[in-house]
Structure 1
Amino acid sequence: MRPRTVLYEAFAGSGMLDNPEAIFRQLRRDSEFSDLVHCWVIADPALRRRLEAEWRSEASVCFVGYRDWSYWRALATSGYLVNNATFPSEFSKRVGQIYLNTWHGTPLKTMGYDMPDGPRESANTLRNFLAADWLLSQNADMTEVMYRKAYRLDGLFDGGVIEEGYPRTDAQQLDASESAAVRELLTERGVALDGRPILLYAPTWKGTRFSEVADDVAELVATVAQLQARVGESYTVLLKTHQSVFRFARRDPLLRGMLVPNDIPTNTVLAVTELLVTDYSSIQFDYLATGRPMVYYVPDMDAYRGGRGLYLHPSTWPGPLARNADELGDAVAEIAHGRDAWQSARREWSARFAPYDDGAASKRVIDVVFRGQGAGRRVRALEDTRRPRVLMYIGGMRSNGITTSGVTLANALARDGRLDVSVVYGRSESASRIQNAQRLDAEVRQFLRVGAMNAGRLDHRRRGQGPSVELWKDEWRRCFGDARFDHIIDFSGYSTFWAQLLLAGEGKHTIWLHNDLGRDANRTVNGRAHLRDELHGVFELYPRFETLVSVSRELSRINSAALTAHAAREKFTWVPNLIDADAVRASAATPLRSVVERAIADGSADLAAAATRLAAEPDAIWFVSIGRLSPEKNQRRLIHAFAEVAASHPELRLLIVGDGPLRAALEHEAAGRGVGGQVVFSGNSPQPEALLGAADCFVLSSDYEGMPMVLLEAAVLGLAIITTRFGSVNDAVPGAKLTVVEQSEAALAEGMRAFLKGEVARARFDSDAHNRAALDRFVQVLGALPARD
């Protein structure tokens, strides 16, 4: 560690810019900090060479490339880290480092979880914020809207928020000679100035992919040309682009002489700007401190509000809104002729959004971060009423029962309001996993694990052994920064990687057991016990968990007996799964034609064909079974039993929903038993409830289960239910009457015949009462809160 080195990064190394640049300049002016070494991240090699030449005589200033070896070393060893955006996914703050994240603007457009696909878009930013010791806020609105709400830091971020204005706006307080120097600098860098007032056009980037920003340049060229033609001799029009657009814009010869170089601090340009034309950019909040007029050019207002979203209604903005080039020209001409009707509105906005941008913000921020003098400064904490914090890993978001029950539990806990609830899962580009994550309630904070563990191959082979425990602590800090949780839950229970990662966090650790795990560990598919090594790795970690939770009372007894060699019996307990009955009913009400249309669009031919048959054969009697096509579900026994009954009932159909390694073997089995035309395989379905609700009777043929979600779903829909007898069957659906048969083909066939005779009643299930009891059981078992009276 080099405790007196400060690493600065702005916009992924775009230059010496923004708030980091202002803090750097102020630290260099203060003799108290003359011992500091200042290290800047500069991505462009040509710019880095130019800056190195400019600062060659200053031994305390150095430069590193972006993401090269010197960058990683500086990032890992500098005592102070200052960034206006985010460090990359490899970054993990070390103990002893002090991280100030200044961000780069008060938001007008939606941010964080408020954005479309917000959890995925916010993953690395949230990680950085939680690693920070200090977050910088330009005003109280920014603290509330962005940090507390948009990034869901309320109740989780334990650092301080400094509300002392933006250091970068100090550069807007210039006297006449300093303003002349800025204009001279612009001229030296190729900007064509001729003494006329500057009109700066500074739009935000409105794209969705940084690889496609070249498409914006042609539109920018046209707008600048129209502006210059309209204002004539009144102004010189300059263009300031978003950082990501600049590298494309600088190649366009039509912008030569009017494009502001990317590495010139924006606020020094604002200091000499007489009129700002912008749209949704946060640059407007900085410009408020000048008191000068602004015009908003928003031809895409309706689309932008509908797609990205805005925090402040356009009717409140402190300047005229132009929807097209003519309106823009008219608005600029009005101001050029001294007709400015927006002065009062600008003063109100300035008092609200720029109250501390007075030219001394840098000094105040340095007092807090570098001197440790927070007394008398505006420093806020974001902790709420200190509800207990719960972090849950609910698996890989695959379409299965664990995901369904995990999402349901997280949503119920968040809506209950007694706990602060977060979930974590690995980032995936799978459409089905993204859709499953989107089922999480807005009140559930989502962490997406991005990037990979910082370790070499040998470290990975040794992880979990001796000193390598430190690797897991490093990975925890990389994923969650300095965030602390009272309860850390491995709700999946099937992954050694995630179990070890979660155990690295401080808090009470609980792991869920969704099945008869002793049998699961020994289950073979095509001669291989696929889960044996992974589950035995999890079993070895059981002693480090305070509580082992099965999903039913009887399953807890089974697991405690089978796994007693790995954990003391008193650690085993149970909490039943919850069920989102409203969601089940809503999905079940989906018309089958909609299921067919979606399946065709997704390329799921088997599902489309199955839903089509289900809809087209109303006189048939449909048995349905849903589950992974693997040995423990024993669909082979189900097919044999069905064939026995169907021999005298040609109107019967069996719909098997799901996929797995035994798909081909089961299809062959059905054909061999003569019921290939009556047994329909749909494959996986994003809405299995729609198929379930259209059937007549649900059948489960498993050898063993935990508390299968599909039984709860069938009970919610009031279906007749036939199930084989497995260890925890008696409390699989509390309070609901099931027809339970022995684990044999003959018994299962007899159950089906009983249904045909009208002897299998429809299930009755009070899902609300069940969920209330399950939720109270959860908080009681975890000791998170006392149960309700």
Structure 2
Amino acid sequence: MAIKNFFNKIFTLIELIRLPYIKRATDREFKMINSYTDYFKKKAILHNTILYQSHNGMGMSDSPLAIFKELISHPSYKGYKHIWVVNDINNPTINQYSSMSNVKFVKLHSDEYLMYLASAKYLINNHSFPSYFQKREEQIYVNTWHNTPSLYDESSNYGRVYANTQRNFLQVDYLLTDSLQNAKNLMGSYDLDGIFKGKILAEGYPRIDLVLNSNSQLVKKQLSNCTTYKSNQKLIIYSTTWKNEYFSKQNDDIKLTDFLAQLKLNIPTGFQLLLNIEGLPPATINENLKDLIIPSYMDINEILSITDFLISDNMHIINDFAFTNRPIIFFTNEEVDSFEIPVKICTDLTAVTKAMRNMSNTLTSDIKYGSETSKITPKIIDSVLNNNSSWKIYSIANEKTNLIFYCGGFLNNGITTSAINLINNIDYDRFNVIVVDNIRTDKASIENFKKINHNATKLIRVGAMNISVSEWYIHHYITKKGLINNRLEKYLPFNLYKREAQRLFGNIDYDVAIDFSGYVPFWSFIFAFGGFKKKAIYQHNDMHAEYYKKINNKFKHKQKMNLIFPIYKYFDKIIAVSKNTRDENIKNLSKYMEETKAVYVHNCIDSEKIKQQIKVNEEMVLEETTFLLSSKDISDGNLQIKGIKKPTKNKINFVTMGRLSPEKDHEKLLRAFKEFYTKKKDSMLYIIGEGVLETQLKELTYNLGLQKNVIFTGQLTNPYSLISQCDCFILSSNHEGQPMVLLENLIIGMPIIATDIPGNRSILQEDYGLIVENSVNGLVQGMEQYLNNNLPRFNMFNYTSYNKEALDKFYKEIL
């Protein structure tokens, strides 16, 4: 047996050694992260090197191109090396620079790209770098932003692009924009109000210099090489996006390609049409139109410099072209109130055709291309490279303390409820609240995430930790083995977790980190070792009991707690949700907890939400039975309704709510209800919630013969519409922290029966409810006391005073 164990250990070790190399060979993203991390940690900063990236490597374009052109034309900057990121090394526009020794082109995600991204002193981008990017302290990141910002939409789906753009902004040193208000709008659209730390240069975009000052002869030559452009004809540009709303709302026979063909036929004499269509799939355009398409690698701003008039619905293109004072047609089917710039608004092809003819007659025969307008770009370069700005530099960061929360994934549970209640009650005049979470895909988590106060910043984690192979070994070994063996603790890759915090949170002030979950080792590690000024971790339960909790004969939390318990000492405060729970955890976890760090803060409650839910009560009568509607869904002409049999006055209606999991011990409740039911047949039990034991509990209900008197409602978005119509609330848990459901029932004045455990006592011990022995018999006696109208007179719960005390204590402990 000893020999067998020895060889098993050897085999496990070999597999561990092989695994990251197999992963590098099969997982391209993991390999990139490894390589980038090595350069990030080891490669010296290249002080006179500038890396440019525009539209994710589509080509040399936009403001990065304007900055590049200004630098290579100016003798003062001849010592700089310029690195351009492109998807296609054979891009025709790069040929004119290929002979320059200080200009280099690298392919996006290539090893050279990773090296320069990690080491170039200056990084210039008009959108965002990949999710593995994080700025080193010595680097300077200039974001020139390429689009008109959209306002933040609370109902929007947080995709990877949104999340990574948001994360990029937190790394930015300089943000270029044309006004302070647009900078505020942009940060608002990415939910970064008040916490964005970058310097704002609000004097305009370098790309405007390309519109006003490009070499017209060179642009015309480049355009004629890739399209049907003729220099002896005036130029009309139609610029839109492939997913244009105008066309997506039309009938099938009116498509973008049909419109383009008709537009071409109606071009005035002496004019020619070229098309700039973002995101256009090449196969969708007719052959006779393909030569009109401007290739994506050409810069639209330079082409605008030789354009005679523009047709577009793209606001950033319209705003840029407006600097030329040449005619613009705004083509849309939407109602438009007014424009700050002179445009002709057209809603159909006939109107566009008429406008083109009128405009063609007003154009002078010889437009002068180019401008003597004072350039924006040199002043921006002077600000960034020489730290010598003649402009005012703005900041929109406020002076509030940042509270950074992780809340456990926003599943349907008590932790989520208490997190939302706390975040919604915090004083936003004093604090910036930042809630970080992974991208959620399940409906319940998405809906819960939306319930967070709109003043809070929601940061979405995208990408993976930047990790080296050696760090991967250590991290995964410790994750598997745990830290109960304290000899492993000295091998913890502290810098890995600090680096990940910096990748996620960038330049923001690392004031207070609050691991409100306390169950997820990854986030506990990030908050413990991320470089935060103050750190707190919550305990929502009797953590010793949680450690030994089993589901389907497997420990649910043991492996996670083997990682979390030993790092309690790295937090400034260990916050239990009740005094009794704190005392229980101090007693059982004294090995890991310093008593001076162990405090308690009661959960906050949302009394207005509970009182509002009671008022919402939709009913339906079917076959002489009244149902409370729990959900309605109308889609594709179909109506789906779910309902719950309404409690009636001629029966005693008990109700409970919570996860269907072992610690709630619904089995004990069902067996107690069976005993009570044998004496009182006209009684009902409503069980609100869902969980891993649902099937098992329903089988028990059937075996006990209670299927007509026990109703499993599932998860309810509005449970208090049902609870308020029941007679008595019962909580049968074996262990709790501070059960939110008891606090909420106190708000509506429900009679309560609860088992004698620390969490329940912490709420009910001041005569707010009946505490019974934690057993079947104890619950039966409690139900019989209610039946006999023998419950004691309970005190009224002052939820306003309770909430104020809870918040005051929260502020005291985290600051």
Q: Normalization by structure 2: what TM-score?
A: 0.84
Change (3 A) 1:657 1:114: closer
Q: 1:18 aligns with which of 51, 57, 62?
A: 62
Q: 1:418 aligns with which of 408, 430, 454?
A: 430
Is 2:580 the partner of 1:554? yes
Aligned to 1:222, the other structure's residue is in SS state: helix
Match of 2:483 in 1: none
Match of 2:406 in 1: 393
Change (3 A) 1:290 1:277: same
Match of 1:274 in 2: 308
Q: 1:403 aligns with which of 404, 416, 429?
A: 416
Match of 1:347 in 2: none
Q: 2:323 aligns with which of 289, 295, 300?
A: 289
Change (3 A) 1:315 1:286: closer
Match of 1:782 in 2: 814
Match of 1:412, as an amino acid? N
Match of 2:419, as an amino acid? G
| Alpha-carbon distance, 1:608 to partner | 7.2
> Once structures 1 and 2 are overlaid, which stretch shifts more, 444-453 or 287-296?
287-296
Match of 1:74 in 2: 116
Corresponding residue pairs, total: 736
Q: Gaps (5+ residues) in structure 2?
A: 1-43, 365-370, 476-488, 621-626
| Alpha-carbon distance, 1:145 to partner | 1.8
Q: 2:450 aligns with which of 438, 462, 465?
A: 438
Output one character per residue of 1:424-454: Cα deviation in whole Å (capped at 9) or x when no partner.
1111211111111111121110011111112
Output one character per residue of 1:313-366: Cα deviation in whole Å (capped at 9) or x when no partner.
5465632322222333333344334399xxxxxxxxxxxxxxx99452111111
Change (3 A) 1:736 1:226: farther
Distance (Å, rounded) in 2 between the aligned partners of 1:38 and 1:577: 55
Change (3 A) 1:775 1:357: farther
8 Å CA contact 2:239, 2:314 repeated in 1: no
> Once structures 1 and 2 are overlaid, which stretch shifts more, 223-232 or 60-69?
223-232
Q: 2:515 aligns with which of 480, 483, 490?
A: 490
8 Å CA contact 2:184, 2:193 repeated in 1: no
Change (3 A) 1:696 1:479: same
8 Å CA contact 1:595, 1:608 repeated in 2: no
| Alpha-carbon distance, 1:715 to partner | 2.1
| Alpha-carbon distance, 1:188 to partner | 1.5
Q: 1:539 aligns with which of 538, 552, 565?
A: 565
Distance (Å, rounded) in 1 between the aligned partners of 2:772 and 2:265: 85
Change (3 A) 1:163 1:260: same
Change (3 A) 1:234 1:301: farther
8 Å CA contact 2:310, 2:328 repeated in 1: yes
8 Å CA contact 1:712, 1:733 repeated in 2: no
Change (3 A) 1:297 1:481: same
Distance (Å, rounded) in 1 between the aligned partners of 2:357 and 2:628: 57
Match of 2:178, as an amino acid? Q
* Aligned pairs for 1:148-297 within 5 A: 149-174=188-213, 178-193=215-230, 195-204=232-241, 206=243, 219-233=255-269, 235-242=271-278, 244-245=279-280, 247-248=281-282, 252-297=286-331
Match of 2:757 in 1: 726
Match of 1:351 in 2: none
Match of 1:308 in 2: none
Aligned to 2:230, the other structure's residue is in SS state: coil
Match of 1:711 in 2: 742
| Alpha-carbon distance, 1:254 to partner | 3.8
Distance (Å, rounded) in 2 between the aligned partners of 1:171 and 1:752: 80
| Alpha-carbon distance, 1:703 to partner | 1.2
Output one character per residue of 1:529-548: Cα deviation in whole Å (capped at 9) or x when no partner.
22112113111111110011
Distance (Å, rounded) in 2 between the aligned partners of 1:231 and 1:696: 77
| Alpha-carbon distance, 1:100 to partner | 0.9
Distance (Å, rounded) in 2 between the aligned partners of 1:704 and 1:271: 72
Q: Gaps (5+ residues) in structure 1?
A: 303-312, 341-355, 784-789
Match of 1:598 in 2: 631
> Once structures 1 and 2 are overlaid, which stretch shifts more, 537-546 or 521-530?
521-530
Distance (Å, rounded) in 2 between the aligned partners of 1:619 and 1:186: 84
| Alpha-carbon distance, 1:250 to partner | 8.1
8 Å CA contact 1:391, 1:488 repeated in 2: yes
* Aligned pairs for 1:496-575 within 5 A: 496-503=521-528, 504-575=530-601
Distance (Å, rounded) in 2 between the aligned partners of 1:186 and 1:119: 36
8 Å CA contact 1:217, 1:248 repeated in 2: no
Distance (Å, rounded) in 1 between the aligned partners of 2:657 and 2:254: 54
8 Å CA contact 1:699, 1:722 repeated in 2: yes
8 Å CA contact 1:221, 1:254 repeated in 2: no
| Alpha-carbon distance, 1:756 to partner | 2.6
Output one character per residue of 1:25-74: Cα deviation in whole Å (capped at 9) or x when no partner.
11111223222221111113542xx4565433222222222223332232
Distance (Å, rounded) in 2 between the aligned partners of 1:765 and 1:669: 36
| Alpha-carbon distance, 1:417 to partner | 2.4
Aligned to 2:315, the other structure's residue is in SS state: coil
Match of 1:773 in 2: 805
Q: Normalization by structure 1: what TM-score?
A: 0.87
8 Å CA contact 2:268, 2:356 repeated in 1: no
Q: 1:641 aligns with which of 641, 663, 672?
A: 672
Is 2:780 the partner of 1:738? no
Distance (Å, rounded) in 2 between the aligned partners of 1:263 and 1:221: 22
8 Å CA contact 1:592, 1:690 repeated in 2: no
Output one character per residue of 1:113-137: Cα deviation in whole Å (capped at 9) or x when no partner.
5783468763211110111111111
Change (3 A) 1:540 1:234: same
Distance (Å, rounded) in 2 between the aligned partners of 1:461 and 1:658: 40
Change (3 A) 1:38 1:694: farther
| Alpha-carbon distance, 1:206 to partner | 4.7
Change (3 A) 1:106 1:669: closer
Output one character per residue of 1:445-483: Cα deviation in whole Å (capped at 9) or x when no partner.
001111111225652341375362111122111111122
8 Å CA contact 1:393, 1:490 repeated in 2: yes
Change (3 A) 1:486 1:119: farther
Q: 1:58 aligns with which of 84, 100, 105?
A: 100
Distance (Å, rounded) in 2 between the aligned partners of 1:104 and 1:239: 19
Is 2:29 the partner of 1:29? no
Distance (Å, rounded) in 1 between the aligned partners of 2:470 and 2:628: 49
> Once structures 1 and 2 are overlaid, which stretch shifts more, 157-166 or 356-365?
356-365
* Aligned pairs for 1:449-468 within 5 A: 449-455=461-467, 459-463=471-475, 466=491, 468=493
Q: 2:146 aligns with which of 71, 92, 104?
A: 104
Q: 2:375 aligns with which of 360, 363, 386?
A: 360
Q: Percent identity?
A: 29
Match of 1:241, as an amino acid? I
Output one character per residue of 1:384-407: Cα deviation in whole Å (capped at 9) or x when no partner.
2x0111111111111111111111
Distance (Å, rounded) in 1 between the aligned partners of 2:468 and 2:725: 53
| Alpha-carbon distance, 1:487 to partner | 0.9
8 Å CA contact 1:105, 1:138 repeated in 2: no
Change (3 A) 1:263 1:216: farther
Output one character per residue of 1:195-218: Cα deviation in whole Å (capped at 9) or x when no partner.
33222211246579xxx99x9998
Aligned to 1:442, the other structure's residue is in SS state: coil
- CA RMSD between the two structures: 3.1
Distance (Å, rounded) in 2 between the aligned partners of 1:57 and 1:181: 18
8 Å CA contact 1:166, 1:357 repeated in 2: no
Match of 1:335 in 2: 359
Is 2:385 the partner of 1:370? yes
| Alpha-carbon distance, 1:13 to partner | 0.6
